[in-house]
């Protein structure tokens, strides 16, 4: 560890001689730490394990009948454990933060006006507010099943209409491409998002052996959907220029796989260095991919076959917008033709 000894880290060699690291406080459970010491993956795993240990310590002093008790009960429930791993990670992080801020409140006084205030204060982050409301609503309904509370404080709380990610424009896409040429991992990751329309959690685990005969096979971590996506010629060029450091396409300098969070930080830094505004985030590339497909004339079902959307509601918005644009262009062309004929007649 470059001479630095981290607290609560244990080092072992397994039966095949591979060195493995674990985080452990006292006689508590061992939490595996991925990546090499000094890497961002290792640092992120260490921070998460440290946070989990603090939560366990705090849980010893949870007040019965409090919001914190409901949070702890939900995170230990089958409802939570039946979620996909990537959804569990996101939900756990959100619920822990919610418990830290509001866990002291008694459940018997937790009402809609409180949730309205909590969500209202997040007006500058509408997408995050909507996700928080969704997670708390699922937790509260579980609490009602257990009779921990009788009233649903999320009932009637309205989502923000603007709570959606910005879809990258062609100018913004061009700015990123200009900063990161083919051959850089940042460009490879970017093109994987743009030409496959996949989520961060799926792109960061893509492997070279997922590609066969020009087709990329994806098993989506969130939905479980299995997709076979033909590679766009531009993406093929990018992949051919990408150096291989391990089994994962967007691996670390050591060749190991990045965690979803570490990968998100890595790409956020790349986006920032390209001089792009804050609303340009990775998920917006998924929307840009869907937009491009819609503008190319693809149907909602065709787009979903690439992006893997579970429902067509969001995808339909892109096809409708693209169709409106095509109809508007056609209408203006007809108007020009009509006006031209009128002038000639005079």
Question: 280 in the Ramachandran plot: left (φ > 0), alpha (ψ -120 to 50) or beta?
Answer: beta
Residue 274 has pLDDT above 90, yes or no: yes
Q: Return the pLDDT at 223.
A: 83
Spacing of C-alpha 118 from chain mean position: 23
Over residues 225-234, the pLDDT tens digits come to 899 999 999 9
The more confidently predicted of residues 326 and 263 is 263
- Which residue in the block uniquely carries the two structure tokens 């990775």? 282
CA distances in angstroms from 274 to 17, 119, 270, 280, listed in the order given = 42, 32, 6, 11
Q: Tell me the residue ranges of DSSP E strands in the chain.
A: 9-13, 19-23, 31-33, 211-212, 215-219, 226-230
The more confidently predicted of residues 326 and 286 is 286
* CATH annotation of 170-326: 1.10.443.10
Of 16-20, 172-176, 300-304, 342-346, minimum mean pLDDT range: 342-346
- Residue 27's contacts (CB-CB under 8 Å, 6 or more residues apart) are none
Residue 1 has pLDDT above 50, yes or no: no
The more confidently predicted of residues 197 and 36 is 197
Q: Return the pLDDT at 344.
A: 62
The arithmetic mean of pLDDT across residues 263-291, rounded, is 91
Q: Which two tokens stand for residue 247?
A: 């089994």
Over residues 8-54, the pLDDT tens digits come to 888 888 778 788 888 888 777 788 888 888 787 888 788 877 766 66
Query: Cβ distance 91 to 129 under 8 Å?
Result: no
The more confidently predicted of residues 2 and 184 is 184
Domain residue ranges in the chain: 1-61, 62-164, 170-326
Share of the chain above pLDDT 90, in %: 47
Report, at the CATH architecture level, how domain 62-164 is classified.
Answer: Orthogonal Bundle (1.10)
Distance, CA of 262 to CA of 275 (rounded, Å): 20
Over residues 111-147, the pLDDT tens digits come to 999 999 999 998 878 888 999 999 999 999 999 998 9
CA distances in angstroms from 115 to 54, 64, 157, listed in the order given = 26, 21, 7
The more confidently predicted of residues 216 and 125 is 216
Q: Return the pLDDT at 2.
A: 45
Q: Return the pLDDT at 144.
A: 93
The arithmetic mean of pLDDT across residues 261-281, rounded, is 91
């Amino acid at each position: 560890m470059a001479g630095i000894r981290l607290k609560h880290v244990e080092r072992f060699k397994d039966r095949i001689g591979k060195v493995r690291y674990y985080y452990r406080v006292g006689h508590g459970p061992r939490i595996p730490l991925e990546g090499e010491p000094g890497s961002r993956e290792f640092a992120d795993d260490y921070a998460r394990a440290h946070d989990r240990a603090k939560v366990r310590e705090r849980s010893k002093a949870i007040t019965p009948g409090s919001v914190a008790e409901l949070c702890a009960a939900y995170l230990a429930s089958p409802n939570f454990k039946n979620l996909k791993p990537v959804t569990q990670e996101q939900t756990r992080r959100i619920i822990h933060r919610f418990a830290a801020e509001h866990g002291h409140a008694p459940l018997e006084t937790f009402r809609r006006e409180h949730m309205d205030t909590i969500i209202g204060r997040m007006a500058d982050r509408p997408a995050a507010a909507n996700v928080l409301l969704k997670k708390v609503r699922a937790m509260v309904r579980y609490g009602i099943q257990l009779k921990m509370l009788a009233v649903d404080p999320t009932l009637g709380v309205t989502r923000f209409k603007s709570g959606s990610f910005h879809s990258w424009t062609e100018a913004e896409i061009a700015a990123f491409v200009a900063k990161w040429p083919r051959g850089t991992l940042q460009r490879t990751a970017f093109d994987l998002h743009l030409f496959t329309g996949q989520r961060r959690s799926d792109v960061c685990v893509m492997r070279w052996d997922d590609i066969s005969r020009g087709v990329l096979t994806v098993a989506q971590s969130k939905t479980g959907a299995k997709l076979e996506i033909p590679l766009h010629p531009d993406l093929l060029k990018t992949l051919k220029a990408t150096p291989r450091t391990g089994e994962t396409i967007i691996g670390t300098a050591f060749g190991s796989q990045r965690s979803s969070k570490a990968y998100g930080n890595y790409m956020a830094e790349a986006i920032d260095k390209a001089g792009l505004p804050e609303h340009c985030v990775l998920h917006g590339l998924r929307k840009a991919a869907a937009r491009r497909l819609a503008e190319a004339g693809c149907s909602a079902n065709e787009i979903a076959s690439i992006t893997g959307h579970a429902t067509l509601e969001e995808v339909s918005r892109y096809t409708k917008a693209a169709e409106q644009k095509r109809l508007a262009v056609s209408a203006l062309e007809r108007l020009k033709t009509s006006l031209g004929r009128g002038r000639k007649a005079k």
